[in-house]
């Protein structure tokens, strides 16, 4: 009863008498006693609502001040705690429904609205400043209900009580009641407001980084992060249409709060990095698993799987026709690469089906990742102007959406580099193991180590394939450098496919920088591939030299019979001391020993088996030079062990040695090594020639050289893979130039042409007339013309298509084939 406000004369009646007169009072009090608690609870709940307006917030705070008799500074602290609890609740999706994007947007909206409410409710502007905006609404509301000129409670409720029958019976004490403050309501000082707001911002940053960071853990794609970024951008762009955000922050914090930069950008960047690294790690694990499985299958004997057979015999795969060899019809009219070029493009580079499959799977993974990242980084010119504030028709954007492109490209480069590095570590370990296996082999023969060699070559082809047929790896690694050369490359790739995108960008591809991330990674891949190829070159040359040395030192009768070759008998004229001419017959070797031919044939077959047409010339040169050096060592050992040699054996050795050096001796990048090898050959020849009679040697040498040139020319096509690409070892001769009728004419070859080294020349031979020396036609035009331009020129000059003379033999038909076009090509490449 002490809490009741009674309008009665003094002295007031006692509580017992009132309860006796009005027994309903005790029951009414039980109903209204919790009004204060309910009002305070509703006021505090209003503070926790993210969408509460500034007026509702000021009224709720005013209720707390009046009911609990607190100061504005105390309710300001309570207000900040309520907003902190609300943010913590929004960061836990298990307690509420909705998407992660909605939770993040709710957090951002709460931060922005809280800062604006603090400015509108608690900030007290100085006299004469910032009067155009509503500020300090808490004190304004308190003064409107508790000040000297405040309206009574009845006047506030009069619109609702006017037509009620009990309104005229309300006592004046109630109708004129006006709440009052026991303590003076002083405004919150600007220093305290700034310090408290800054502390609250710092707390919210830590809470959001922890809570929203956990929420983003459920986002597994960059595209999901892009949707969150764009939603936040749109929300902030709409929010800044009202009061200037910068001025509000300056008043309460003396600095501008960068909502995106401080609260969300670090955790979105961190999540982007985690997603990219995770995808690259998955790609690396998949690639390593495929490589391991292939190596295990290559180690199994008697494997009949078609794709594995191509790893054992690349030549068989290259020369096997397939329906997928020819490119698609549209590929003839557009520049395309990869699968659209057909199987011939892959066979030309000796990429076996297993290598193609592994590279394609890895490329598809990287393509998906690149398309995902491109959702974040791709930007049109209009979007870039709006995001950067360059469009004068729009307001300043809340933040630059594409400022993180450089970071994402860096994450993508690092992730792909880490992926390929893991693969290279596995490849290097396997190559090291293969080298140890080959060094520990006691048996001699290529068949005993075929599986080890096949593994090494597969790994080498794989390293080349990652550069050649994985275009998305290059796109991921080049990043900004590639975009400078081809605008919006990732968008082109996303719309038109990886192979088409790469082919379209090739025309504007920037020059490769060896110090760039892609240049360094490319060099590592090529270096690792060279290790595998050199392992094969060392093993092949060693095996061939061992077989050659055994056959050379074998002097058993059976070996002599097996290595016996054809010796030609020829007549020579000699002049006696009396001046008479005497005819005599001599016999000279016309063929190389069979073990020499076998060694060269096995070398060429092995080079072709592993896809020698796609190997770098340095690898071919290395295996040839190592084989040649080993052969010379074998000859030196033979001469050291043999004190005397029969003259016939010495002649055959001279012929064999000169033939081997003709076929295997080629100029390489090291001119000193070439000269040293030439000097070594000359010393060996001089030692062997000491076992031949000097007079006979003078007589035999011209005829021996002709036979050697003839044999070299005949075998230069079949064994051409071992010859030098920069010059012919034996220049072509027209038929009949050797002074005798050949049983089989050899096609005459032109002087050395870099591109077409074995090109037959046109002689237009007419067998009804004596043969003349062949002259290589010199074209009138010095610039390399195209086939179409050459045909057009011939048609314009003669009025009809060029036609060769009527050929009378197969040789004339082949010679007539190159009537001018091929000669022009040869001259154009000189």
pLDDT at 264 over 70: yes
Give the model's pLDDT for residue 198.
94
Determine what percent of the chain is predicted with pLDDT higher than 70: 70
Backbone angles phi and psi of 805, in degrees to 5: -65, 155
Please count the other Cβ atoms lying within 10 Å of the Cβ belonging to residue 15: 12
> Is residue 540 within 8 Å of residue 446, measured between CB atoms?
yes
Both tokens assigned to 677: 């090898």
Q: How far is CA 550 from CA 275, 449, 630, 789, 798, in A?
A: 61, 19, 12, 57, 64
What is the spatial distance between Cα 9 and Cα 487, in angstroms, rounded to a whole number? 92
pLDDT at 280 over 90: yes
What is the spatial distance between Cα 463 and Cα 425, in angstroms, rounded to a whole number? 12
∠ Cα 301 303 309 (to 5°): 115
What is the band of 770 on the pLDDT scale with cuts at 50, 70, 90?
very low
Q: What is the DSSP string of 540-600?
A: HHHHHHHHHHHHHH--SHHHHHHT---EEEEEEEEE-TTS-EEEEEEEEE-S--HHHHHHH
With 0.85 as the threshold, say if the pTM is over it: no
Label residue 142 left, alpha or beta by phi (over 0 means left) and psi (-120 to 50 means alpha).
Answer: alpha
> Is residue 61 within 8 Å of residue 44, measured between CB atoms?
no
Q: What is the tens place of the pLDDT at every residue in 29-66?
A: 777 778 888 888 898 899 888 888 888 898 888 888 88
DSSP assigned state of 740? S
What is the band of 352 on the pLDDT scale with cuts at 50, 70, 90?
very high
What's the whole-number average pLDDT of the chain? 77
* CA nearest neighbour of 339 among 555, 99, 540, 353: 353
Backbone angles phi and psi of 2, in degrees to 5: -70, -20
What is the spatial distance between Cα 47 and Cα 82, in angstroms, rounded to a whole number? 6
| All residues at 6 or more sequence positions from 626 whose CB lies less than 8 Å from its CB, including other chains | 537, 538, 541, 542, 545
pLDDT at 75 over 70: yes
Both tokens assigned to 809: 């033999």
Distance, CA of 148 to chain centre:
76
Residue with the bigger pLDDT between 267 and 387: it is 267
Q: What is the DSSP string of 384-446?
A: HHHHHT--TTSPPPSS-TTTTHHHHHHHHHHHHHHHHHHHHHHHHHHHHHHHHHHHT--S-ST
What is the spatial distance between Cα 653 and Cα 650, in angstroms, rounded to a whole number? 5
What is the spatial distance between Cα 564 and Cα 648, in angstroms, rounded to a whole number? 11
Max CA pair span of the chain: 180
Give the model's pLDDT for residue 292.
94
HSE at residue 155, side-chain half, CA atoms within 13 A, is 9
Residue with the bigger pLDDT between 560 and 287: it is 287
Give the model's pLDDT for residue 789.
41
Backbone angles phi and psi of 731, in degrees to 5: -65, 150
pLDDT at 500 over 80: no
| All residues at 6 or more sequence positions from 165 whose CB lies less than 8 Å from its CB, including other chains | none
Please count the other Cβ atoms lying within 10 Å of the Cβ belonging to residue 701: 14
Angle between helices 265-299 and 450-468 (to 10 degrees): 150
Give the model's pLDDT for residue 743.
52
What is the spatial distance between Cα 352 and Cα 465, in angstroms, rounded to a whole number? 10
Q: What is the DSSP string of 41-101?
A: HHHHHHHH-TT--HHHHHHHHHHHHHHHT--HHHHHHHHHHHHHHHHHHHT-GGGS-S-HH
Q: What is the tens place of the pLDDT at every residue in 516-558?
A: 889 999 999 999 999 999 999 999 999 999 999 999 988 888 8
pLDDT at 344 over 70: yes
Give the model's pLDDT for residue 376.
87
Residue with the bigger pLDDT between 277 and 160: it is 277
Give the model's pLDDT for residue 131.
46
Q: What is the DSSP string of 211-262?
A: HHHHHHTT--SHHHHHHHHHHHHHHHHHHTTSS-HHHHHHHHHSS---HIII
Distance, CA of 739 to chain centre:
62
Residue with tokens 């076998």: 598
Buried b / exposed e over 294-311, threshold 16 CB at 10 Å, is bbeebeeeeeeeebbebb
Determine what percent of the chain is predicted with pLDDT higher than 90: 34
What is the spatial distance between Cα 486 and Cα 483, in angstroms, rounded to a whole number? 5
Residue with the bigger pLDDT between 729 and 68: it is 68
3-state SS assignment for residue 327: coil
HSE at residue 319, side-chain half, CA atoms within 13 A, is 9
* CA nearest neighbour of 514 among 526, 498, 497, 503: 526
Q: How far is CA 524 from CA 277, 357, 421, in A?
A: 21, 22, 9
Lowest mean pLDDT among 23-32, 688-697, 729-738, 808-817: 808-817
Buried b / exposed e over 227-257, threshold 16 CB at 10 Å, is ebbebbbebbbebbeeeebeebbebbbeeeb
Q: What is the tens place of the pLDDT at every residue in 180-221?
A: 777 777 888 889 999 999 999 999 999 999 999 999 999 999
Give the model's pLDDT for residue 221.
93
Q: How many residues are there in the chain?
A: 830
pLDDT at 13 over 90: no
Residue with the bigger pLDDT between 561 and 657: it is 657
Residue with tokens 């016939």: 648
Give the model's pLDDT for residue 395.
60
Give the model's pLDDT for residue 656.
94
What is the band of 674 on the pLDDT scale with cuts at 50, 70, 90?
confident
Give the model's pLDDT for residue 82.
93
Q: What is the tens place of the pLDDT at every residue in 286-343?
A: 999 999 999 999 888 766 677 788 888 999 999 888 887 777 654 444 445 555 667 8
> Is residue 588 within 8 Å of residue 570, measured between CB atoms?
yes
Q: What average pLDDT does the segment 131-151 reach?
A: 70
3-state SS assignment for residue 691: coil
Q: How far is CA 408 from CA 268, 277, 405, 480, in A?
A: 11, 11, 5, 11
Residue with tokens 């990886």: 498
Q: What is the DSSP string of 499-533?
A: HHHHHHHGGGPPPPPTTSHHHHHHHHHHHHHHHHH
pLDDT at 495 over 50: no
Give the model's pLDDT for residue 823.
36
Give the model's pLDDT for residue 184.
74
What is the spatial distance between Cα 479 and Cα 493, in angstroms, rounded to a whole number? 13
Q: What average pLDDT does the segment 232-254 reach?
A: 81
What is the spatial distance between Cα 97 and Cα 324, in angstroms, rounded to a whole number? 53
**Class of residue 133 by CB neighbours under 10 A (exposed 0-12, middle 13-18, buried 19+):** middle
Residue with tokens 């005397």: 644
Q: What is the tens place of the pLDDT at every residue in 415-450?
A: 999 999 999 999 999 999 999 988 876 444 455 578
What is the band of 717 on the pLDDT scale with cuts at 50, 70, 90?
confident
Give the model's pLDDT for residue 112.
92
pLDDT at 755 over 80: no
Q: What average pLDDT does the segment 67-75 reach?
A: 87
């Amino acid at each position: 009863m002490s809490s009741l406000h009674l309008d009665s004369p003094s002295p007031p009646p006692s509580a017992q008498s009132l309860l006796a007169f009005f027994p309903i009072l005790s029951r009414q009090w039980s109903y209204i006693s919790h009004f204060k608690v309910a009002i305070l609870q509703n006021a505090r709940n209003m503070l926790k609502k993210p969408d509460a307006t500034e007026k509702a917030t000021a009224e709720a705070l005013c209720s707390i001040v009046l009911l609990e008799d607190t100061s504005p500074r105390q309710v300001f602290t309570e207000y900040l705690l309520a907003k902190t609890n609300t943010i913590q609740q929004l960061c836990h999706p298990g307690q509420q429904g909705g998407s992660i994007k909605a939770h993040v947007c709710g957090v951002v909206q709460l931060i922005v609205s809280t800062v604006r409410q603090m400015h509108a409710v608690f900030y007290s502007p100085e006299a004469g400043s910032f009067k155009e905006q509503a500020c300090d609404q808490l004190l304004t509301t308190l003064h409107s209900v508790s000040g000297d000129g405040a309206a009574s409670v009845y006047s506030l409720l009069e619109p609702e009580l006017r037509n009620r029958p009990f309104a005229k019976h309300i006592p004046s004490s109630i109708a004129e009641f006006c709440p009052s403050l026991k303590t003076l309501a002083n405004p919150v000082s600007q220093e305290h407001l700034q310090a408290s707001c800054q502390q609250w911002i710092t707390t919210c940053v830590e809470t959001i980084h922890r809570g929203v960071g956990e929420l983003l853990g459920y986002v597994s794609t960059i595209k999901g992060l892009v949707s969150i970024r764009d939603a936040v951008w749109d929300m902030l762009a709409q929010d800044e249409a009202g009061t200037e955000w910068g001025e509000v922050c300056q008043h309460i914090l003396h600095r501008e709060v960068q909502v995106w930069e401080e609260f969300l950008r670090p955790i979105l960047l961190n999540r982007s990095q985690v997603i990219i690294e995770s995808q690259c790690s998955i790609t690396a694990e998949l690639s390593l698993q495929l490589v391991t499985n292939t190596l295990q299958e290559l180690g199994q004997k008697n494997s009949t799987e078609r794709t594995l057979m191509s790893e054992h015999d690349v030549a068989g795969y290259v020369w096997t026709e397939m329906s997928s060899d020819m490119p698609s019809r549209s590929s003839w009219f557009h520049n395309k690469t990869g699968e659209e070029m057909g199987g011939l493009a892959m066979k030309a580079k000796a990429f076996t089906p297993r290598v193609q499959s592994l590279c394609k799977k890895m490329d598809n993974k990287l393509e998906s990742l690149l398309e995902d990242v491109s959702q974040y980084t791709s930007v049109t010119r209009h979007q870039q102007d709006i995001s950067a504030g360059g469009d004068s028709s729009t307001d300043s954007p809340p933040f630059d959406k594409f400022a993180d492109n450089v970071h994402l490209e860096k994450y993508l480069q690092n992730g792909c580099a880490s992926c390929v590095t893991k693969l290279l570590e596995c490849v290097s370990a396997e190559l090291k193991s293969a080298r140890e296996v080959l060094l520990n082999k006691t048996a001699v023969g290529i068949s005993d180590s075929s599986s080890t060699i096949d593994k090494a070559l597969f790994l080498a082809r794989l390293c080349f394939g990652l550069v050649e047929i994985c275009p998305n790896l290059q796109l991921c690694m080049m990043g900004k450098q590639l975009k400078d050369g081809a605008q919006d490359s990732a968008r082109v790739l996303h719309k038109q496919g990886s192979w088409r995108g790469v082919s379209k960008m090739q025309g504007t591809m920037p020059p490769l920088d060896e110090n760039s991330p892609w240049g360094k990674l490319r060099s590592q891949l090529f270096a690792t591939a060279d290790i595998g190829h050199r392992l094969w070159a060392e093993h092949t040359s060693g095996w061939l030299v061992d077989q050659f040395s055994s056959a050379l030192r074998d002097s058993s009768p059976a070996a002599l019979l097996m290595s016996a070759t054809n010796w030609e008998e020829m007549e020579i004229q000699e002049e006696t001391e009396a001046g008479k001419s005497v005819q005599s017959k001599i016999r000279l070797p016309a063929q190389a020993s069979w073990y020499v031919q076998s060694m060269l044939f096995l070398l060429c077959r092995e080079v072709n088996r592993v896809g020698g047409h796609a190997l770098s010339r340095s690898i071919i040169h290395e295996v040839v030079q190592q084989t040649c050096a080993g052969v010379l060592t074998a000859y030196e050992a033979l001469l050291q062990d043999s004190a005397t040699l029969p003259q016939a054996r010495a002649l055959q050795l001279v012929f064999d040695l000169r033939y081997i050096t003709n076929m295997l001796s080629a100029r390489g990048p090291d001119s000193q090594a070439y000269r040293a090898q030439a000097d070594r050959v000359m010393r060996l020849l001089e030692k062997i020639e000491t076992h031949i009679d000097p007079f006979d040697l003078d007589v035999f040498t011209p005829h021996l050289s002709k036979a050697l040139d003839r044999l070299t020319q005949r075998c230069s096509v079949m064994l051409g893979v071992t010859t030098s690409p920069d010059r012919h070892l034996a220049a072509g001769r027209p038929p009949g130039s050797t002074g005798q009728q050949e049983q089989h004419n050899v096609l005459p070859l032109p002087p050395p042409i870099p591109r077409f080294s074995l090109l037959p020349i046109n002689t237009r031979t007419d067998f009804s007339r004596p043969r003349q020396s062949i002259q290589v036609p010199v074209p009138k035009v010095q610039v390399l013309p195209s086939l179409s331009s050459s045909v057009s020129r011939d048609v314009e000059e003669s009025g009809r298509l060029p036609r060769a003379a009527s050929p009378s033999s197969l040789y004339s038909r082949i010679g007539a084939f190159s009537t001018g076009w091929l000669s022009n090509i040869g001259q154009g490449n000189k």
